Chain A
């Protein structure tokens, strides 16, 4: 067990933060916050505190998910609820010290919401449209706690699920995860319990556990936010998985474009080791397990599990044929379980609350919640966790606040380069693995980019095929040459050199690539083209037949003077 002393100390420290005797200031310092200027906010508030001789404690938190409000600061004044302030500047942040901490003015003009009942005209934060349709499970701690302090995670119930797991049989845990209906949230949606069971049953040792944090889809940053804001939830999920399956060694494969996520995870691993949660005989049990971080090196294909394995082994990240699946033959030929960051972050709650609780949310075949990075042409951009089955309309219009600047919605892109573009007619489509697949897209890892009337759909298809042909590992011909051919045809169309037969050739190429590529990268690469042809054929026709780009995006067609005013 985590020593009772440590848990009690963590809880009492947390109590002194949430019900404090001196003011507590929380500054959102994930990548989004830092890019928006959180560091200068930190300095401004620190010097304002010194100047006014106020004793206060400053905490660096992660990202609350409301990226459109960064830089954000929360303040708890003794006897007052936590209040979140938005879009601060160093000047307004210093004003909060004098106006609120000294003079008791809540500054509703700077406030976003109260963590509780409405106060002085400041609304309840969780009653805001952005928040009220969300069900935060995996994201419950983001923006709430300091990700670099294990005691705050422990105080919020952290590692209790792991302790509970250690007290039960491996088979029990696997059964529980299987019954919950949890499916892999990295994109493919394979049932997590079945994956664990296959790896558990393979009689070969040692076994490995890998957390796939090679979040390569452009337009997606859910894993980054989670690792930067609550790394211990992912570690706890890994510990439970490793114990259940019988893995002795773990890797977290994080892409090198995420330096802050790597840094915070390294700190979290050190702290877990310090408290006996990693290493030999964890918490005095027979279970021994340790984790190493591996940094990706800028190859998108390494998100594919067999390519990821090759990369950890020190080779070119090229996928191989499956079966055998990694559960039977993975790293160095040994059984290996690979789960996505978000999948693992869901595990502690399943163990704590039970499979039935988890399965009680979502749809028949897609249980629990989905996590999306909502970006593009939408007013409220950020990270959301919503129950499966929610409609696209609710996400974009209620949570996201609709398309800004009075523009018209055109499409929503889900699933990154493996997904597709869904039109306005499908706004009432419920989000689930099967419904999105039927519409030609995929759930994917969770990127959701909103496109408005100023977006050219042929240009979007060209963008993704350019990405696919650059990131193809080059091993199999359909992917290496097929995506290149598709890109060149799309490039021609956007430059006004499209031919009557182009759309048919694109469809034919897509069919071959989907059916014959070696791995998921190739098999799904045509999706952006297939969906844009299916739903926006008129835009292809306008480019090819009339040499016009209806959205005025394709430069060659705009400069040709053939623009309708």
Chain B
């Protein structure tokens, strides 16, 4: 694990201005920021771990616990809100039996909310593993998760 972080660090100069790009790159590779990664970054840039945490925890992009295999992001922007975004979120919560910020017990799904993904004309939307899903309804949520699970089982 440490080698991934070191490989990332080697792409950047030891300059504070690289802190956020480094955090982003490490999270992209490891899916989250472990305390070991934070420690490596702190040593590399010569700033305290406290300082690294203070920056990382300010931004909602960064996670400190390992997420599930798949990520569901429900958009709660204005256009989604007025077109039923809350019902989409409720359905995902019910289907996965988790709340935003949580991961299912089997480690399969994480649920997040996002302030706006900027696909407002297709509202309400959600994002499943980087793929934008448009005009969602509670039924479409159920069907989508079902077909995702089926595809995975078939692949096994």
Q: Which residues of A are at the interface with B, using a C-beta cutoff of 8 A?
A: 31-32, 34-36, 67-68, 70, 215-221, 224, 256-259, 294-300, 311-318, 373-377, 381-382, 413, 416, 447, 449, 451, 455, 460, 463-464, 467, 471, 473
Contact = CB atoms under 8 A, between A and B. Distances in A.
Contact of A218 (B62, B78, B122): B78
Contact of A314 (B18, B76, B83): B18
Given A317-B59, A455-B82, A375 B120 contact: yes
Given A35-B132, A297-B59, A376 B122 contact: no
Interface in B1-37: 15-21, 23-24
Contacts of A215: 118
A293 to B, nearest CB: 10
Contacts of B65: none
B77 A218 contact: yes
A300 B77 CA distance: 12
A259 B130 contact: yes
Interface size bracket, B side:
35 or more
Given A297-B61, A316-B58, A35 B122 contact: yes
A220 B82 contact: no
A454 B119 CA distance: 22
17 contacts: A32-B119, A32-B122, A35-B131, A35-B133, A36-B134, A218-B77, A218-B81, A221-B116, A256-B61, A295-B21, A297-B24, A313-B17, A314-B55, A316-B55, A317-B58, A375-B79, A460-B82
B9 to A, nearest CB: 14
A299 B132 contact: no
A171 B55 CA distance: 40
A262 to B, nearest CB: 11
Given A256-B61, A317-B58, A376-B82, 4 more contacts: A221-B120, A316-B54, A375-B78, A376-B123
A127 B116 CA distance: 32
B122 A300 contact: no
Contacts of B114: 257
Contacts of A374: 121
Contact of B122 (A67, A219, A416): A67
Nearest to A466: B76
B110 interface: no
Contacts of B76: 218
B117 interface: yes
Nearest to A255: B118
Interface in B94-124: 114-123
A32 to B, nearest CB: 6
Contacts of B147: none
A36 B134 CA distance: 7
Interface in B28-75: 54-55, 58-62
Contact of B119 (A221, A313, A467): A221
A376 B59 contact: no
B14 to A, nearest CB: 12
A299 B60 CA distance: 6
Contacts of A381: 120-121
Nearest to B131: A35
Nearest to A295: B24
A376 B78 contact: yes
B108 to A, nearest CB: 23
A382 B61 contact: no
Nearest to A317: B58
B13 to A, nearest CB: 12
B81 A463 contact: yes
Contacts of B16: 313-314
> Which residue, B23, B116, B119, has most C-beta atoms of chain A within 10 A?
B116
A314 B22 CA distance: 10
Nearest to B130: A259
A312 B118 contact: no
Contacts of B116: 216-221, 257
Contacts of A467: 115
Interface string B114-156: 1111111111010000111110000000000000000000000
